[in-house]
Structure 1
Amino acid sequence: MTITLNQATSRWPDVAALPNAPIRAAVAGVVFRHAMAGSAVRVRYPGGRMTGTSGPILDVHRPAALHARLGAAGLIGFGEAYQAGDWDSGDLVGVLTVLAGRMGTLIPPSLQWIRRFHGPRSPQAERNTPDGSRSNIARHYDLSNDLFALFLDESMSYSSALFASGSSDDLLTAQHRKIDRLLDRTGTTAGTLLLEIGTGWGELAIRAAQRGARVVSVTLSAEQRDLALRRAAAAGVADRVEVRLCDYREITPVPGGFDAIVSVEMVEAVGLDYWPAYADVLARHLAPHGRVGLQMITMAHDRMLATSDTYTWIHKYVFPGGLIPSVPAMTGVLGRAGLTVHDRLDFGLDYAETLRRWRAAFTGRTDEVAALGFDATFARTWNFYLAYCEAGFASRYLDVCQLVLGHGVREC
């Protein structure tokens, strides 16, 4: 679908406005053509001219606009060009998977130094202070519970599922397998006092309570808290689930600590500067015999170091303030807080499959997305976001893992 710029509403000012920097645009055009020539992506231009001989096709509808956005904002501009309809693809995930696999070399080595001076920096307002975290979380998770319900499964789980090897699991079964593995590995059973950092829409808390655990769950999303409480009541476990609207740094201690702590894909929203505080919270609130179960998106350590101060399209349009850690970086921070890894499982390709199913559901319900008040640019934005993430996992640029940790030395 090609859209015109006047379809972009005030929600998207940098999509609606076309940059005017002809020299930068000319340079970006050269770099783009060089990058595409060295990739397994075919580029088709207006009139039918095609570059490349194999691979998925990237259709450029407005070359000048694409180059202008690339020149003004680099890879952020590439995403904005998709939002604006300057380019498209019948195999969006295929195109992005190829590009993700070459992320470190898309820019020629002789021009890599320009990246330090090109593109915007992370806004101070998006730092993950207590106030900044509340604002960042609200911008994504408080969009609309009804929107998320359109593409998530009935568990409302917004994190990677865990599929059985070679199975054709439905998404609900695979999501429950992910949750149950964390609960099993942290020893969550009847009588366990469980702390959950990052409630989501409550499925893990409900499933733990159904085992007989008592759950304290914290979230910064008012929308998520309200629905999680309603879902816990509907499941008959409201008396064992408490959901608090508070920052992880504000958790009230309990005598002796929590028997288990779980946190699913929340550390990505903590931010580099606050990783030590997050690790300290886990260690301080965990009982001496207890276990921590973390699920987190990861990237290779060298890529994390190279991109840790980069402001990306995902930051600007989807997850402000976020940073994906590497396993060595996070285990180092956790180790300095006194927590040792006892168990690890990596399952990044399962996230690619999870995202594939989410995106199929989202793109299949565009009329319902529109009925909720989200415009065509929003639909393109989220289509790009889901495809972008799927490509990251499919190319192995990103991974996801579960870590189980405890105090002291690792058990034999």
Structure 2
Amino acid sequence: MQHVSSVSRLLLPGFWFDQQAAQVLFESLVRAKLPRTLDIRLPDGSSTTFGPQPTQNPVRLAVHRWEVFRRVLWEQDIGAGETYGEGWWDTNDLVGLCRMLLRSQELWTAPSWARALFRLVHWVRWKSQRNSLRGSQTNIAYHYDLSNEFYRLFLDETLTYSCAWFHNEETSLAEAQRAKLDYACHQLQLQPGQRVLDIGCGWGSFALHAATHYGVEVHGISLSRKQLQLARERAAEAGLGDRCRFDYVDYRNVQGTYDHVVSIEMFEAVGHEYYRHFFKAVDRCLRPGGRFFLQTITIPDQRYDRYRKEFDFIKKHIFPGGLLASLARILETTKQHTQLRLLAMRDIGTHYAPTLHEWRQRFLAALPQVRALGFDTRFARLWEFYLASCEAAFAERHIGDAQLLFERQS
């Protein structure tokens, strides 16, 4: 049974629209100055080529339905991802193709009425994803409560679901994740006996690392019940049940005072209108002189205002309520509403492409196990597109990943 988006049911069908969309996309590919050859095999069996003269490693795209062009032009990454999920097109290099689409998408000119209709159709669903207290619970459960066994299939042994830090090409994923965790601990200047709040603790990787190697007590909070269950089990197995505590608590409801606070790639689930609430909660929980380590995926400030008003593939199918961060807005919010002072900042976005590459390769190798867990082919292809498109975005420096260190002033 094929899944057709609500947008496609409303938009005018017809071969003419598909042909026009194909022409617009082809013209944008000509102007995009692609670094590699792109060979496209069309549904009628004919082929067309873009980019430099044929190379030894061309990207090959096989389009099985003409409708793909209209969906991609009018719905952009939602159209590309959903049609890939349906099996309407295939490629020998999904990351390479996504990189080409990123380079050319600013040249696309979809009909204004089609874009307006697209926004209208998705408006209700988008607005329903607000990260209120109840909305955050629903949004987090949608992604993180899929299955602990599912995430074990492609994450490393530390079960860390965030950008790693690779010292060199020989560094394994687990080593790179531990290096990232250790960097956070060093930045916080952890000392034995200190109390640390971990906002968005995941499966407990930071808490277990910090308690084991630095002798601190960590209070991890999350809105994923399945993550919390496994985090508690892992702490008990490691003999750290007395130093690692995990609770189902929203950051807005945290009580108590901590020596330090850490939040690694949870901030994307906060939302534009809740920046102030998040940083005021951190400020309230942190003792004077205490440090706050924040790692978050970022989008260039110049694109942020337009981006936050758009609905995309990630928000629809992967992270409902998700929003990449604006560094300018983070700094403006901490300046206006907290006593937090920025001490250091670095971008590790170049390390996210190899992190995602590792996850995607493990995911593809585990497809039989993915299906054995009850996930169908469409789900697997949507997730493959998610991992590949994110890898492409980081490889193109389209987005970044920032580590910020704050100190609460006395």
Normalised by the length of structure 2, the TM-score is 0.90
2:254 paired residue number: 251
**Cα RMSD, aligned residues only:** 2.3
Aligned length: 394
1:36 paired residue number: 29
1:269 paired residue number: 269
**SS of residue matched to 2:311:** coil
2:179 paired residue number: 177
Instruction: Report the CA distance between 1:65 and its aligned residue.
Output: 2.2
**Structure 2 residue 50 is matched with structure 1 residue 52:** yes
Segments of structure 2 that go 5 or more residues without pairing to the other structure are none
CA distance in 1, matches of 2:70, 2:46: 21
Equivalent AA in structure 2 for residue 342 of structure 1:
L
1:101-123 Cα distance to aligned partner (Å, 9 max, x none): 344x1324x96897455432253
**SS of residue matched to 2:66:** helix
- Contact kept, 8 Å, 1:151 with 1:362, in 2: the verdict is yes
2:5 paired residue number: 14
Instruction: Report the CA distance between 1:344 and its aligned residue.
Output: 1.1
**SS of residue matched to 1:189:** coil
CA distance in 2, matches of 1:241, 1:403: 24
Q: Which runs of 4+ in 1 moved over 6 A?
A: 15-19, 110-114
Segments of structure 1 that go 5 or more residues without pairing to the other structure are 1-5
* Structure 2 CA distance for partners of 1:293 and 1:231, relative to 1, 3 Å: same
- Contact kept, 8 Å, 1:346 with 1:400, in 2: the verdict is yes
1:31-54 Cα distance to aligned partner (Å, 9 max, x none): 322223333244232424123144
Deviates more, 1:272-281 or 1:300-309: 300-309
2:99 paired residue number: 97
Equivalent AA in structure 2 for residue 199 of structure 1:
C
CA distance in 2, matches of 1:57, 1:115: 28
Between the aligned residues of both structures, percent identity stands at 35
- Contact kept, 8 Å, 1:262 with 1:292, in 2: the verdict is yes
**Structure 2 residue 320 is matched with structure 1 residue 314:** no
Deviates more, 1:290-299 or 1:399-408: 399-408
CA distance in 1, matches of 2:292, 2:112: 40
Equivalent AA in structure 1 for residue 299 of structure 2:
M
Equivalent AA in structure 1 for residue 352 of structure 2:
Y
1:391 paired residue number: 392
Instruction: Report the CA distance between 1:262 and its aligned residue.
Output: 0.1
* Structure 2 CA distance for partners of 1:68 and 1:98, relative to 1, 3 Å: closer
Equivalent AA in structure 1 for residue 254 of structure 2:
I
**SS of residue matched to 1:373:** coil
1:236 paired residue number: 239
Equivalent AA in structure 1 for residue 234 of structure 2:
R
2:349 paired residue number: 348
1:256-305 Cα distance to aligned partner (Å, 9 max, x none): x2110000001111000101100111111110010000010011111112
- Contact kept, 8 Å, 1:21 with 1:71, in 2: the verdict is no
- Contact kept, 8 Å, 2:75 with 2:115, in 1: the verdict is no
Match of 2:135 among 132, 135, 145: 132
CA distance in 2, matches of 1:330, 1:274: 11
CA distance in 2, matches of 1:59, 1:15: 26
2:382 paired residue number: 381
- Contact kept, 8 Å, 1:162 with 1:350, in 2: the verdict is yes
Superposition map of 1:182-193 within 5 A: 182-193=184-195
* Structure 2 CA distance for partners of 1:281 and 1:116, relative to 1, 3 Å: farther
* Structure 2 CA distance for partners of 1:102 and 1:286, relative to 1, 3 Å: farther
CA distance in 1, matches of 2:9, 2:361: 30
CA distance in 1, matches of 2:339, 2:104: 37
Normalised by the length of structure 1, the TM-score is 0.90
